[in-house]
Amino acid sequence: MVKKLIKRGYALLVYLFLYLPIFLLILYSFNDSKYRGSWSGFTLRWYKELFKDRTIVAALYNTFAIAILSALIATIIGTISAIAIHKMSPRWKMTFMNVTYLPVMNPDIVIGISLLALFVALKMHLGFFTILLGHITFNTPYVILAVLPKLKHLNPYLEEAALDLGATPMQAFFKVVLPEIMPGVVTGGLLAFTLSLDDFMVSFFTTGSGVNTLSIKVYSMTKLGVSPKINALSTLLFIGVLSLFVLLQSREKNIKE
């Protein structure tokens, strides 16, 4: 009994340490004062001012546009790559898996500087397109790693049975293989989307003048002090991600039932 209480108390302290700052951020997004040290009353004016700030709205648009596009493209490339790696011989599979792990293990600053050097060498104009390419680059390995476990548990005879029954390779893939590995594909896509939303380092090195993401915008605002509008924006993003998580959990529950 005592051990259970200690374990639960320890877990509670860990979760408080992780989530208390977020709850304080949400609380102060409704604070009428600009300063976090004092509570001046409840207000929604920071949310109103948030959507009046064109620079923040533009950064929000760029962030979601890049996150959605990079997640979709990385999911397609990563799924195809995972299938190709799965069908390789063990020797080649090990080689390609080691190459896949490199972007995951590398610090973001190394990836950002490397991509910047590549884009400069190719004389590419830094902007929205280069940020998108950068996000696709570091997102794709995560999709591969999310899809491969589903392929390993896939019955290899299902595709062969579909082909024997007259289906073309494309029909067998879309009607047999893809539905079986879809949970891994969805997981990889969502992981790519959230990683893209969260990224700062790669975006910072691959962006050009006039193109900001939320992470870059917040970084530039910290030099003059973070506005309560950022608290409001962070609150909306947290609620959005939490809602998405709840929807996915309910979807998985319905599928199991």
In a domain, 38, yes or no: no
Residues 6+ apart with CB under 8 A from 176: 158, 159, 162, 167
CATH number at residue 173: 1.10.3720.10
Each residue's pLDDT, cut to its tens digit, for the chain (257 residues) gives 778 888 888 888 998 988 888 888 888 888 877 766 677 778 888 888 888 888 888 888 899 999 999 999 999 999 999 999 988 888 888 888 888 888 888 888 889 999 999 999 998 988 899 999 999 999 999 999 999 988 888 887 787 788 777 888 888 888 888 888 888 898 899 889 988 988 888 998 998 877 888 888 888 877 776 678 888 888 888 888 788 777 777 766 665 55
Number of domains composing the chain: 2
In a domain, 228, yes or no: yes
What domain range is 21 assigned to? 1-31
In a domain, 146, yes or no: yes
- Asked whether residue 3 falls in the same domain as residue 95, the answer is no
Q: In this structure, what token pair is assigned to residue 216?
A: 């870059």
- Give the CA diameter of the chain: 72
- Asked whether residue 114 falls in the same domain as residue 222, the answer is yes
- Pairwise CA distance, residues 60 & 54, whole Å: 10
- Asked whether residue 86 falls in the same domain as residue 120, the answer is yes
In a domain, 96, yes or no: yes
What's the whole-model pTM score? Answer: 0.83
- Asked whether residue 27 falls in the same domain as residue 64, the answer is no
DSSP code string of 133-188: HHHHHHHHHHHHHHHHHHHHTS-HHHHHHHHHTT--HHHHIIIIIHHHHHHHHHHH
